[in-house]
Structure 1
Amino acid sequence: MPTYNVLEAKTQLSKLLDAVENGVDVVIARNGKPSARLVPVDQVPREAFKIGLAKGRLQIPEDFDALDAEVLKGMDEAEAEWRELE
């Protein structure tokens, strides 16, 4: 698995994406320590994108303000974008 430092990754991002799209995992290191790994999207576990994992685990305070229509619309659009990635 090839490893690049942050500066190399920044200047060669297109090249790294080409490699990832061809099935090569790429590691990005900061100060010599691996910090991130680039992998093809289809290798990311689907449950990593699952919405609603905390449903039933959180309590919302009674004084929580309701979200306005614009915020709700933005959340719906963001969820739709995530679903397109699945």
Structure 2
Amino acid sequence: MLVNMHEAKTHLSRLVARAAAGEDIVIGKAGKPVARLVPYAERTEPRKPGGLKGKIWIADDFDETPQWLIDAIEGNGEFEDKFLGK
């Protein structure tokens, strides 16, 4: 079943109940599908450690705190002059 955004907002409770019962509910905008309501399902198996290995990338400098932030936290006058106009 395809419903438009306005109808979905107006009848959300009813649509959620229908999706929970197994009906395929698709929400559209300008006649094109953009989202789907699906029933919630508990995970049947516990997650396995390392399941996302190789799929997530973290920048090399992720843990480095920028100097401007350190200055701001420590109340460095240069930071206040430059960014706060004091």
TM bucket, shorter chain = 0.5 to 0.7
Q: Provide the rounded CA distance (Å) in 2 between the counterparts of 1:62 and 1:15.
A: 44
Q: Provide the rounded CA distance (Å) in 1 between the counterparts of 2:63 and 2:6.
A: 47
SS of the equivalent of 1:42 reads: coil
* Stretch moving more, 17-26 or 34-43: 34-43
What fraction of aligned residue pairs are identical, expressed as a percent? 36
Gaps of 5+ in 1: 66-86
- In the alignment, which residue of structure 1 is the partner of 2:60? 60
Q: Which has the higher helix share?
A: 1
- TM-score for the superposition, normalised by structure 2: 0.54
Change (3 A) 1:21 1:62: closer
How far apart are 1:51 and its partner, in Å? 7.0
- In the alignment, which residue of structure 2 is the partner of 1:81? none
- In the alignment, which residue of structure 2 is the partner of 1:79? none
How far apart are 1:59 and its partner, in Å? 3.0
- TM-score for the superposition, normalised by structure 1: 0.54
After superposing on structure 2, the runs of 4+ consecutive aligned residues of structure 1 that deviate more than 6 Å are none
Greater C-alpha Rg: 2
How far apart are 1:6 and its partner, in Å? 0.2
The question of whether the paired residues in 2 share the 8 Å contact of 1:6 and 1:28 is answered with yes
- In the alignment, which residue of structure 2 is the partner of 1:18? 17
Relative CO higher for 1 or 2, CA cutoff 8 Å, sep ≥ 6?
A: 1
RMSD: 3.2
Structure 2 counterpart of 1:24, one-letter code: E
Q: Provide the rounded CA distance (Å) in 1 between the counterparts of 2:41 and 2:64.
A: 38
